[in-house]
Chains A and B, each alone.
Chain A
Amino acid sequence: MLAYVLKRLMLTVPLVIGITLITFSVVHLAPGGPVEVETEMSMKASAQARENLKKLYGLDKPLHEQYFDWLKRLLLLDFGKSFVDGRPVISKIAERIPVTLEINLLSLILIMILAIPLGVLAATRQYSIFDKLSTVFVFIGFSTPTFWLALLCMILFGVTLGVLPISGIRSIDTAGMGGFEQGIDHLKHLILPVALSAFGGIAGMSRYSRSSMLEVIRQDYVRTARAKGLPESIVLRRHALRNALMPIVTILGLSVPGLIGGAVIFETIFAIPGMGQLFYSSAMSRDYPTIMGILVIGAVLTLIGNLLADISYALVDPRIRVRGES
């Protein structure tokens, strides 16, 4: 097992290098580049001022040197300073990551507890009314623009019914509240963002669980289990479900980039001070160091998601482990 994990880790290294290369190219091959942004605000910036700025950011060096300088600093977790407020990018990101991870983890959990039973039930009752209804739900789920659904939910729960807060992650007047009440207040703020970011995933994941379960049900060992007279519930739970769940682990890992990317939209709509919102505002103000930092961290988070998925897959499926070691 350890050998498998190590091998898998080794494979990640070139990917991380590739991620930094692409991030660097995206920003530095752009016409104008970072200096233009800082000087375009003040038309009077002289050629001399531009040169000084270039020197400050090391932009007067050849591109490959700039890249290696940047890479060296990345290794020390130094992402540079924000163009907007001059604070270190890493601390700006660090204070934004927790709420983004919190929302993403909660929606992953929501996806799992709703989608897997939904898909499994649909598979065991293939072609039933329930199966057909869940298929309809899946298609609508795939096709609904979630930011629009968010808008409708804001109108319904926030404006018409007035039962849920629709912006931020806590109320303004939390000072008088105890710790428990503050927690409840925080959770109430998370209900809509979490439910909505899970929405698309529920559709996708229930579809995967359904087809995975359908495939397993047709396997010989399931027929054998039935043939030897086991009750259907035991056949499904012990023989089919456990095997059907394995590929789902991988899909969960693959859904990480979608969730992180989706954070841009949800955090902007619900005014949640997370990484997505930071990325949006950095993009709007062309804050290149922050953009580069979030690109790298977002991609690395994705890799970690995939890594965890692969490792847990190997944990539940001995076949992968053996093949990976040989």
Chain B
Amino acid sequence: MTAAESLRILVWRRFSRNRLAIVGLTAIFLLAAVALFAPLLSPYDPTAINVYQVLSPPDASHLFGTDELGRDVLTRMLWGGRVSLKVGFVAVGISISIGTLVGALAGFYGRRIDAILMRFVDIMLAFPTLFLILAVIAILEPSISTIMIIIGLTGWMGVSRLVRAEFLTLKERDFIAAARAAGAGDARLILRHILPNALAPVFVSATFGIAGAILTESGLSFLGLGVQPPDPSWGNILTSGKDNITVAWWLSVFPGLAILVTVLSYNLVGEGLRDALDPRLWQGNEK
């Protein structure tokens, strides 16, 4: 067993001892499976209009009722789940990549490069994120790919600070001096020696980031700035919930619960991961 494998086992052992985190992880897998198999699970078409069953309350044929166009809410939520999943992962993929790159360069090279990059981070952090997102959406057309990219482009600053901090301490360690003495170049030092050791906080913040991206997407879609009707998303189902607030409570309640459960699951896993990866919390009894 290599050192990396044994560390992974250690982390998993700590993580699996956290019951809430396991509940969250199970929920994430279930939600992902349901979203993936949405076309197989629902007999209805998410965009098919049925004028004879407008705003009908939940019953046996429509478990979560129908919306103002007679579409099955549960089906639209299943398809909306795919949107949330996609937005969460793509947006976080973008922000993690940028954040890691910026943080690695700033932490490794220090001095001027560090000063310039970190001032840029400060400037980006000064903008209320939602303002920046809205400004860009105003210029480009709102669509699912626009918001995925925008959420990614406005969410990397925290990651870059974390990665930079890891790099600052790691690059002073003896094994880096040894690797350099053995002739490793900058790229090799960064990619092979420092980065793998700096990834723990990145994983944690990626997990929280997915939760945040899903929340942001639903908020934007709710405001009509994200996923455009007739394509379903949890956020834009809630918009019809608001429009029919006095007559159709089911339009407001179920999609919101779906967002809450999904985001909560990612947050629980993130918290579990953070505790499991934090060596300061490891006590002597890890046998």
Contacts and interface: CB of A to CB of B under 8 A. Distances in A.
A262 B123 CA distance: 19
Contact of B123 (A15, A26, A142, A294): A15
Interface residues of A, number: 47
B267 A291 contact: no
A261 B267 contact: no
B175 interface: no
Interface string A25-49: 0110010000000000000000000
B285 interface: no
Nearest to A296: B127
A14 B119 contact: yes
A144 to B, nearest CB: 6
A302 B135 contact: no
B126 A145 contact: no
Interface string B67-92: 00000000000000000000000000
Interface residues of B, number: 44
Q: Which of A269, A280, A300 has most B Cβ within 10 Å?
A: A280
A280 B126 contact: no
Nearest to B224: A284
B245 interface: yes
Q: Which of A27, A144, A283, A284 has most B Cβ within 10 Å?
A: A283
Q: Which of A260, A268, A299 has most B Cβ within 10 Å?
A: A299
A15 B124 CA distance: 9
A303 to B, nearest CB: 5
Interface stretch (A121-129, A148-156, A174-182, A239-247): A148-156
Interface of A: 14-15, 18-19, 22-23, 26-27, 30, 139-140, 142-145, 147-149, 151-152, 154-155, 159, 257-258, 260-262, 264-265, 268-269, 279-280, 282-284, 286, 291, 294-295, 298-300, 302-303, 306
Interface of B: 119-120, 122-132, 134-140, 211, 215, 218-219, 222-223, 225, 238, 241-242, 245-246, 249, 252-253, 255-256, 259-260, 263-264, 267-268, 271
